[in-house]
Structure 1
Amino acid sequence: MSTEKIVRTVAGRLSLREPQTISLERLNTALESVPALRDSKARSQEELKAMQEALKAEFPKLTDFERDFPSLCFALATGVGKTRLMGAFISYLHAAYGYKHFFVLAPNLTIYDKLIRDFSDTTGPKYVFKGIADFAVEAPEVITGETYEQKGDLVSQAIDAPVQINIFNISKINSEVRGGKAPKIKRLSEYLGQSYFEYLAGLPDLVLIMDESHRYRASAGIRALNELKPLLGLELTATPFTEGTKGPVPFKNVVMDYPLALAIEDGFVKEPAVVTQQNFNPADHSAEQLERIKLMDGIRVHEETKVHLLTYAEQTGQKPVKPFMLVIARDTTHAAALLGTIEGLFDGQYKGKVIQVDSSKSGAEEEEMIRRLLLVESYTEPTEIVIHVNMLKEGWDVTNLYTIVPLRAANARTLIEQSIGRGLRLPYGRKTGVEVVDRLNIIAHDRFKEVIDEAGKGDSPIRLKELKLEPTDNNGSRLTSLSVPSNTSVMLGISGVKGSGADGAAIVSSGYGQGAGGSAQSPAVVFTGEERRIAMVAMDAVAELGKDRILVPTSTALGTTTVQEKLTQLVMERLVPQQGELLDTMASNAEAVAEVVKKSVEVFIDQTIDIPRITVVPVGPVKGGYRSFTLDVSRMNYQATDQQLLSQGLQSGRQLTYGEAAVIEESRLEDYIVRELINYDDVSYDDHADLIYELAGQAVAHFRSKQPDDAAVHNILGNHGRAIAENIHLQMAKHYEEDSAGSEVIVSQGFMPLKPCAFTAKDDVKPLHWTPDDKRTIGQYVYGGFQRCAFGFQKFHSDTERILATVLEREARRWFRPVSGQFNIYYRAGVNQPEYIPDFVVALDDITLMIETKKAKEVAEAQESETEVKAKADQAVIWCKNASDYAAKVGGKPWAYLLIPHDAVAPNVTLSALRARYEVVE
Structure 2
Amino acid sequence: MNKTAQMITQRLSLRTPQAKSLEILANILDEMELSKSPDLNALLEHVHDKFGTCTNFERDFPSICFALATGVGKTRLMGAFISYLAIESGISNFFVLAPNLTVYNKLIEDLSNPACEKYVFKGIADFAQNPPRIITGDNYNTKIVDQTRYAQEFEGMETININIFNISKLNAETRSGKEPKMKRLSEYLGESYFQYLMGLKDLVLIMDESHHYRADRGMAVLNELNPILGLELTATPQTQQGSNAIKFKNVVFDYPLGRAMKDGYVKEPAVVTRKDFDPSQHTPEELDRIKLEDGIRIHENVKPEIDIYCRNNNLPRVKPFVLVVAKDTTHAGQLMDLIKQQNFFDGYYADKVMEIHSNQRGSEKDENIQQLLNVEDPDNSIEIVIHVNMLKEGWDVTNLYTIIPLRTSASATLTEQTIGRGLRLPFGKRMNDDAMDKLYIVSHDKFQAIIEEANKPDSLINTTQIVDMGDLELEGHQEVITAGNSLNEELDETAKAIEEADISQEEKRKRVFVEVDLVRKVSTYLHTQNTIHKAEDLKKEQVTQAIVERVLREMDSRDQKELFDNREEIVEQVKVAIQRVYEHEITSSIKIPRISIVPEEDFEVGFRDFDLDTQNLRLSEISEDLQEKVLTRKEGIKLLLKGGRHRDVSDHRDIIVNELINYNEVDYDEHADLLYKLSGQALDSIKEGRDQEAVDNIIWNRKKNIAEFIYTQMKPHFFLTAKGFRTEISTSFSEIRPHNMSKIAADKVHLYSETIEPASRIKSCVFNGFKKSCHSLLKFDSKSEKDFAFILEEEAGSPVLKWLRPAPHQFNITWGVLNPKQYEPDFVVETGDCIYLIEVKAEKDIQTADVQDKAKAAIQYCKHATEYNAEHGEKPWKYILIPHDKITMQMGFMTLAEQYEVGL
- TM-score scaled to structure 2, two decimals? 0.72
Mapped pair 1:124 → 2:80: no
1:570 & 1:560 partners in 2: Cα distance?
Answer: 16
The aligned residue for residue 843 of structure 1 is 830
Contact (CA 8 Å) 1:852, 1:900: kept in 2 or not? yes
Determine which of 165, 174, 179 is the counterpart of 1:177: 174
Contact (CA 8 Å) 2:61, 2:223: kept in 1 or not? yes
**Equivalent residue runs for 1:17-56 within 5 Å:** 17-32=15-30, 35-36=31-32, 38-44=33-39, 47-48=40-41, 50-56=42-48
2:13 & 2:264 partners in 1: Cα distance?
Answer: 16
Contact (CA 8 Å) 2:326, 2:407: kept in 1 or not? yes
Q: CA deviation at 1:485?
A: 1.8
Determine which of 323, 334, 337 is the counterpart of 1:337: 334
SS in structure 2 of the partner of residue 404 of structure 1: strand
SS in structure 2 of the partner of residue 150 of structure 1: helix
| 1:155-204 Cα deviation digits (max 9, x unpaired) | 33568843221111111222233344333333445665544433333333
2:338 corresponds to which letter in structure 1? T
2:4 & 2:786 partners in 1: Cα distance?
Answer: 56
Mapped pair 1:112 → 2:104: yes
1:229 corresponds to which letter in structure 2? N
Mapped pair 1:59 → 2:41: no
1:548 & 1:58 partners in 2: Cα distance?
Answer: 58
Contact (CA 8 Å) 2:300, 2:477: kept in 1 or not? no
Determine which of 858, 876, 892 is the counterpart of 2:874: 892
The number of residues matched between the two structures is 759
The aligned residue for residue 468 of structure 2 is 468
Determine which of 748, 759, 784 is the counterpart of 2:741: 759
1:595 & 1:152 partners in 2: Cα distance?
Answer: 69
Contact (CA 8 Å) 1:278, 1:471: kept in 2 or not? no
| 1:564-592 Cα deviation digits (max 9, x unpaired) | 999999999999xx99x999xxxx99999
1:171 & 1:97 partners in 2: Cα distance?
Answer: 31
Cα 1:262/1:736, change in 2 over 3 Å: farther
1:850 & 1:549 partners in 2: Cα distance?
Answer: 25
Cα 1:855/1:207, change in 2 over 3 Å: farther
Once the two structures are overlaid, the 10-residue window that deviates more, 483-492 or 307-316, is 483-492
Q: CA deviation at 1:761?
A: 4.7
Cα 1:203/1:589, change in 2 over 3 Å: closer
1:496 & 1:787 partners in 2: Cα distance?
Answer: 23
Contact (CA 8 Å) 2:802, 2:829: kept in 1 or not? yes
The aligned residue for residue 655 of structure 2 is none
Cα 1:758/1:213, change in 2 over 3 Å: same
Cα 1:408/1:903, change in 2 over 3 Å: closer
1:608 corresponds to which letter in structure 2? S
Contact (CA 8 Å) 2:522, 2:577: kept in 1 or not? no
Cα 1:814/1:219, change in 2 over 3 Å: farther
Mapped pair 1:9 → 2:4: no
Contact (CA 8 Å) 1:77, 1:259: kept in 2 or not? yes
The aligned residue for residue 424 of structure 2 is 425
Q: CA deviation at 1:420?
A: 1.6
Contact (CA 8 Å) 1:854, 1:901: kept in 2 or not? yes
Cα 1:592/1:131, change in 2 over 3 Å: closer
Q: CA deviation at 1:548?
A: 8.8
The aligned residue for residue 369 of structure 1 is 368
Once the two structures are overlaid, the 10-residue window that deviates more, 359-368 or 239-248, is 359-368
1:343 & 1:471 partners in 2: Cα distance?
Answer: 28
**Equivalent residue runs for 1:345-360 within 5 Å:** 345-360=344-359
SS in structure 1 of the partner of residue 21 of structure 2: helix
SS in structure 1 of the partner of residue 449 of structure 2: helix
2:326 corresponds to which letter in structure 1? A
Contact (CA 8 Å) 2:59, 2:219: kept in 1 or not? no
The aligned residue for residue 437 of structure 2 is 438
Alignment RMSD (CA, Å): 4.8
Bigger-Rg structure (1/2):
2
2:10 corresponds to which letter in structure 1? G
SS in structure 2 of the partner of residue 149 of structure 1: helix
SS in structure 2 of the partner of residue 176 of structure 1: helix
**Equivalent residue runs for 1:253-292 within 5 Å:** 253-292=250-289
SS in structure 2 of the partner of residue 420 of structure 1: helix
Determine which of 506, 515, 540 is the counterpart of 2:520: 540
Determine which of 605, 610, 631 is the counterpart of 2:586: 605
1:568 & 1:41 partners in 2: Cα distance?
Answer: 74
Contact (CA 8 Å) 1:494, 1:535: kept in 2 or not? no
Contact (CA 8 Å) 1:107, 1:212: kept in 2 or not? yes
Contact (CA 8 Å) 1:494, 1:532: kept in 2 or not? no
Q: CA deviation at 1:82?
A: 0.5
| 1:2-49 Cα deviation digits (max 9, x unpaired) | x523222211110111111111122223223xx33x4333235xx42x
**Equivalent residue runs for 1:283-432 within 5 Å:** 283-344=280-341, 345-432=344-431
SS in structure 2 of the partner of residue 43 of structure 1: coil
| 1:840-891 Cα deviation digits (max 9, x unpaired) | 32212112233456788998798xxxx9965x66765565455444433443
The aligned residue for residue 103 of structure 1 is 95
Q: CA deviation at 1:363?
A: 2.7
Cα 1:353/1:591, change in 2 over 3 Å: same
Cα 1:129/1:568, change in 2 over 3 Å: closer
Contact (CA 8 Å) 2:323, 2:385: kept in 1 or not? yes
2:159 corresponds to which letter in structure 1? P
2:802 corresponds to which letter in structure 1? R
2:9 & 2:61 partners in 1: Cα distance?
Answer: 27
2:201 & 2:721 partners in 1: Cα distance?
Answer: 51
The aligned residue for residue 451 of structure 1 is 450
Contact (CA 8 Å) 1:158, 1:164: kept in 2 or not? no
Mapped pair 1:817 → 2:805: yes
Contact (CA 8 Å) 1:174, 1:221: kept in 2 or not? yes
2:309 corresponds to which letter in structure 1? Y
- TM-score scaled to structure 1, two decimals? 0.71
Q: CA deviation at 1:542?
A: 4.2
1:87 corresponds to which letter in structure 2? G
Cα 1:779/1:237, change in 2 over 3 Å: farther
Once the two structures are overlaid, the 10-residue window that deviates more, 128-137 or 295-304, is 295-304
Contact (CA 8 Å) 2:495, 2:512: kept in 1 or not? no
| 1:390-412 Cα deviation digits (max 9, x unpaired) | 11221111122222222222122
| 1:448-501 Cα deviation digits (max 9, x unpaired) | 22222222222221133222325999x95664433222244456773999xxxx
1:606 corresponds to which letter in structure 2? T
Cα 1:734/1:86, change in 2 over 3 Å: farther
Q: CA deviation at 1:384?
A: 1.8
Q: CA deviation at 1:339?
A: 2.1
SS in structure 1 of the partner of residue 135 of structure 2: strand
2:17 corresponds to which letter in structure 1? P
Q: CA deviation at 1:84?
A: 0.4
Q: CA deviation at 1:802?
A: 5.8
SS in structure 1 of the partner of residue 424 of structure 2: coil
2:38 corresponds to which letter in structure 1? R
1:294 & 1:859 partners in 2: Cα distance?
Answer: 40
2:270 corresponds to which letter in structure 1? A
Determine which of 85, 88, 93 is the counterpart of 1:93: 85
Contact (CA 8 Å) 1:10, 1:92: kept in 2 or not? yes
The aligned residue for residue 788 of structure 1 is 772
Contact (CA 8 Å) 1:559, 1:602: kept in 2 or not? no
Structure 2 stretches of 5 or more lacking a match?
497-509, 606-719
1:883 & 1:629 partners in 2: Cα distance?
Answer: 25
1:416 & 1:496 partners in 2: Cα distance?
Answer: 52
1:433 corresponds to which letter in structure 2? N
Cα 1:86/1:555, change in 2 over 3 Å: same
Contact (CA 8 Å) 1:270, 1:439: kept in 2 or not? yes
The aligned residue for residue 136 of structure 1 is 128
1:798 & 1:894 partners in 2: Cα distance?
Answer: 29
Structure 1 stretches of 5 or more lacking a match?
498-529, 617-624, 631-732
1:846 corresponds to which letter in structure 2? D
Q: CA deviation at 1:430?
A: 1.8
The aligned residue for residue 76 of structure 1 is 68
Cα 1:773/1:21, change in 2 over 3 Å: farther
Contact (CA 8 Å) 1:807, 1:911: kept in 2 or not? no
1:819 corresponds to which letter in structure 2? A
Cα 1:114/1:906, change in 2 over 3 Å: same
SS in structure 2 of the partner of residue 422 of structure 1: helix
SS in structure 2 of the partner of residue 325 of structure 1: strand
1:822 & 1:472 partners in 2: Cα distance?
Answer: 28
2:15 & 2:146 partners in 1: Cα distance?
Answer: 37
